[in-house]
């Protein structure tokens, strides 16, 4: 009987330790203290990060894309995720979020009510945003429209609907290290910020393991199956990516490939966002891609 009790106590202790280490992480407001918001730069962060591309309502065009009422579907091997309402509605959206709430969502994948977000919100990339980026993004979003459309629940089944398990996923796969390291030029540093952080390019262009974590290292940006089950995302590393920097910049600007094909699917929205950035940002992304090692 004593042995059984000891085993129960041991299990409880191990479970408590596990829950402690996998609890949702948050930072306090001191992380953003002393920063002055720049909404103009926040618009650049918003555009480069593709916020509207995922959170606009299906079929919206033009300025209506800034009504971030959500509803788009993102099929995956784990179920179908639905983009939530992130408009400025205080009830249906995130209109009552503070800048630190946004920081914790993007940096830690933690909601204001201290719940884990699924990594369909690409906080694995957004963790690289610096505090100024998030403060500026928050300031820019304050002037976007409010919409009362309720967010739809995700359509995922057991055991993937257990949010507590996401703490273990984060321990395994969420880290602040950059894929491209070393003594980088200012252009490559900016390209890294745009590719690895804001643009979250690896979320589509890097293969994943059975748990949905990115296979980094030698697999970085080497292409991946479309999680929706239709086609693949291309390899961006040499020699597969043979386009010149000028050809890449042209593609990011017009959507035309050197073979006179055009960007389609979700990539068409990515190109639309990239085309709205300063040309030097598109050049920095091209420089980053051309600097990737041969796999």
On the question of a cis peptide bond just before residue 239, with omega within 30 degrees of 0, the verdict is: yes
* Separation between Cα atoms, residue 203 and residue 120, nearest integer Å: 9
The DSSP call for residue 143 is T
Structure tokens at 4: 């059984």
The per-residue pLDDT for range 58-79, each reduced to its tens digit, is 877 777 889 999 989 999 989 9
Long-range contacts for 156-161 (Cβ within 8 Å, ≥24 apart)?
156/78, 156/79, 156/80, 156/81, 157/79, 160/78, 160/79, 161/79
List the domain boundaries for the chain: 27-176, 178-295
The per-residue pLDDT for range 204-263, each reduced to its tens digit, is 999 999 999 999 889 999 999 887 767 889 999 999 999 999 999 999 999 999 988 888
pTM over 0.85: yes
The per-residue pLDDT for range 81-131, each reduced to its tens digit, is 999 999 999 999 999 999 999 999 999 999 999 999 999 999 999 999 999
- Class of domain 178-295 as given by CATH: mainly alpha
């Amino acid at each position: 009987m004593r042995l059984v009790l000891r085993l129960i106590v041991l299990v409880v202790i191990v479970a408590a330790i596990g829950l402690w280490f996998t609890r949702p992480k948050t930072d306090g407001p001191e992380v953003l203290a002393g920063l002055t918001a720049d909404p103009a730069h926040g618009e650049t962060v918003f555009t480069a990060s593709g916020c509207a591309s995922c959170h606009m309502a299906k079929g919206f065009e033009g300025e209506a894309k800034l009504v971030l009422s959500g509803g788009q579907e993102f099929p995956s091997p784990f179920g179908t995720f639905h983009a939530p309402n992130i408009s400025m509605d205080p009830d249906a959206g995130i209109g009552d979020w503070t800048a630190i709430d946004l920081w914790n969502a993007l940096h830690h994948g933690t909601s204001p009510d201290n719940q884990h977000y699924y990594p369909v919100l690409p906080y694995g990339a957004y963790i690289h945003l610096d505090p100024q980026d998030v403060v500026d993004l928050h300031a820019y979003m304050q002037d976007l429209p409010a919409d009362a459309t309720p967010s739809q629940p995700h359509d995922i089944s057991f055991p993937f609907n257990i949010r507590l398990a996401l703490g273990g996923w984060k321990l395994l796969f969420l880290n602040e290290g950059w894929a491209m390291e070393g003594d980088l030029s200012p252009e490559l540093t900016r390209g890294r910020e745009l590719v690895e952080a804001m643009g979250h390019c690896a979320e589509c262009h890097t293969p994943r393991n059975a748990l949905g974590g990115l296979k980094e290292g030698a697999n970085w940006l080497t292409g991946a199956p479309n999680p929706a089950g239709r086609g693949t995302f291309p390899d961006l590393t040499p020699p597969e990516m043979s386009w010149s920097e000028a050809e890449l910049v042209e593609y990011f600007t017009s959507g035309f490939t050197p073979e006179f094909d055009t960007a389609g699917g979700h990539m068409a929205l990515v190109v639309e966002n990239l085309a709205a950035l300063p040309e030097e940002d598109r050049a920095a992304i091209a420089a980053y891609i051309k600097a990737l090692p041969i796999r």
